[in-house]
Amino acid sequence: MTATKYNARDVIFQIEDLGTPNTWIQIAGIDTFSKGHEEETTDTTDFGSEGQAESQKMQIGKTLQLEGKRMQDQATGALDPGQAEVEALAELLGDDSLGRIRFHAPGDTTWEIWTAHVSLGDQGGGNNDKVSWSATFTRSGASTTAAIV
């Protein structure tokens, strides 16, 4: 196998329809994404550590930030279905605030699937801009995968 670079614009992002499980809606208008990683550690240093710090990783966290342009149907005023679903999920609380997002890069044979809650970013723009749109998904639990069909 020869590893090759791929275009960020070819990564696909979809959100699960809140009312219809296993129905996925592509999120349009994305021009930038960033997958973040974090971890929590605990200090395991004790007197037997002989002055050398010791620690262990205890928790892994992941975020996915999507940024782009707000997409709206000029005839109806309806927001892009994927962006609308993200915004609907962002309004929910508690257990209801968890939805699923999936994504894959070109050549992948599986989707990476997260159960996550979402926070919307600021929207706006200047005189010569298109209106911006962004959302940050915070994974809850471990990732899963499913075959791309």
What average pLDDT is seen over the chain? 97
Q: What is the pLDDT of residue 41?
A: 97
Q: What is the pLDDT of residue 132?
A: 97
- What is the spatial distance between Cα 10 and Cα 107, in angstroms, rounded to a whole number? 10
- What is the spatial distance between Cα 81 and Cα 22, in angstroms, rounded to a whole number? 16
Q: State what percent of residues in the chain have pLDDT above 70.
A: 100
Pick the residue with more confidence: 3 or 15?
A: 15
Phi/psi at 20 (5° precision): -135, 90
8-state DSSP, 96: G
Q: What is the pLDDT of residue 33?
A: 98
- What is the spatial distance between Cα 27 and Cα 111, in angstroms, rounded to a whole number? 15
Q: Looking at residues 109-135, what average pLDDT do you find?
A: 96
111, 27, 25, 19: which is closest to 66 by C-alpha? Answer: 27
Residue 56, both tokens: 């262990």
Q: Looking at residues 114-126, what average pLDDT do you find?
A: 96
Instruction: Judge if pTM exceeds 0.75.
Output: yes
Q: What is the pLDDT of residue 127?
A: 93
pLDDT confidence bin for 60, thresholds 50/70/90:
very high
Please check the confidence at residue 96 and state whether its pLDDT lies above 80: yes
Please check the confidence at residue 1 and state whether its pLDDT lies above 90: no
82, 80, 149, 143: which is closest to 114 by C-alpha? Answer: 143
- What is the spatial distance between Cα 113 and Cα 143, in angstroms, rounded to a whole number? 6
Q: Residue 149: helix, strand or coil by DSSP?
A: coil
